[in-house]
Amino acid sequence: MKDERTLAFLNLYAILGCLPLLCELDTEAQSLISDKNISLGLAIKDGRAATLRFSHGKCSIEQQLTDCDIKLPFSTYAKFNGMINGTVTPIPSKGFTKISFLTKQFTQLTDILSAYLQPEEGKPQNADFLRTRTLLMFHLITEAIAQLGNEDAISRSSASYITDGAIKLSIAGGPSAAIVARNHHLSALHAEPESYTAYMEFCDLDLALQLFEGQVNSVACVGMGQVRIGGMISQVDNLNRILDRVAMYLG
C-alpha cells in the first residue's frame, strides 16, 4: 500500500522537482514564466517544505522553505497530496494578492508536466515529445529512488543494505545522475558523479523510456546487453528493489 507521507515526499521533491527541467526543455513552459519573477513556498505541518522560484523563463527548487512571495501551508500529507491530484484547493497564508499566478501560470505548468509524465492514451507522440518525456522520467525516477529509500518502510530495508558510495545512472549519449548513499541515507545527484562504486547504463533513450514505462524487463535487458551494470553489484540489486517500489507509487 502507498503511504501518504512517502507519497507526499515523492510529489514534493520528485514530481514538482521536475519543473526546473521542464522549463529548460519545453518552450511553452518557458513562455509561461518568461516575464515572471515570483517564488512559491510549499510547507507541510511537520516541517517538510520546498520553495519553487520562477524567474524570466527559468525555474529552480530548494528542498526547504525560504523567503517566498506566496506560501501554501498544508496541515497533513493527505491534503498536500490532494492538491497534486486536484482534489484539494489550498489557501495561501502569504501572497493572497498574487493568487492569480497559482490559478494561471502554475496550474498551466503542472498541466504541461502531467501531459509528459502521464500522456493521453492514443495521442500521437513525436520524437521531441518522447525525448523530453524520457529526460523528465529519468530525473523523476532518480529523485524518487532517493525519497523512497529514506521514507518508505520496505525501501528503507533495501537501503539499509546499500554501502556508502555512489551508484551512477546514465543513458548512453544522454544524461547521467547518481544515487549517493551515506550511512544508509540516500540522496539524488542530478549530474555526472565525480566517482562511483557501481553503475547502471541504459543503451539509449528509447530503451530507457520502455523500462520506465514497464514495457520491458530490466533483467532481460541486462542479459541482452541493453542495460550495462558493473561495480559493486549488491548496490545495484538493492537499488532495483527500491525501483520496483517507485513503479508502485507512480503507477
Q: What is the 3-state secondary structure (H, E, C) of 52-91?
A: EEEECCEEEEECCCCCCCEEEEECCHHHHHHHHHCCCCCC
Residue 4 half-sphere exposure toward CB, CA atoms < 13 A: 11
Strand arrangement, sheet containing 58-62: 58-62, 49-55, 37-44, 70-74
pTM: 0.93
How far apart CA 32 and CA 104 sit, in angstroms, is 9
How far apart CA 49 and CA 62 sit, in angstroms, is 9
Please state the separation of Cα 22 from the chain's center in Å: 11
pLDDT digit string, tens, across residues 139-181 = 999 999 999 999 999 999 999 999 999 999 999 989 999 999 9
Strand arrangement, sheet containing 198-202: 185-189, 176-182, 165-171, 198-202, 227-231
Q: Mean pLDDT lowest for which of 33-37, 63-67, 179-183?
A: 63-67
> DSSP character for 48?
-
pLDDT digit string, tens, across residues 65-122 = 989 999 999 999 999 999 999 899 999 999 999 999 999 999 999 999 999 999 888 7
Gyration radius from the chain CA atoms:
18
Closest CA to 15 of 117, 133, 101: 117
Domains, the chain, with CATH or none: 4-117 (3.30.1050.10), 144-250 (3.30.1050.10)
Show the cell assigned to 196: 562511483
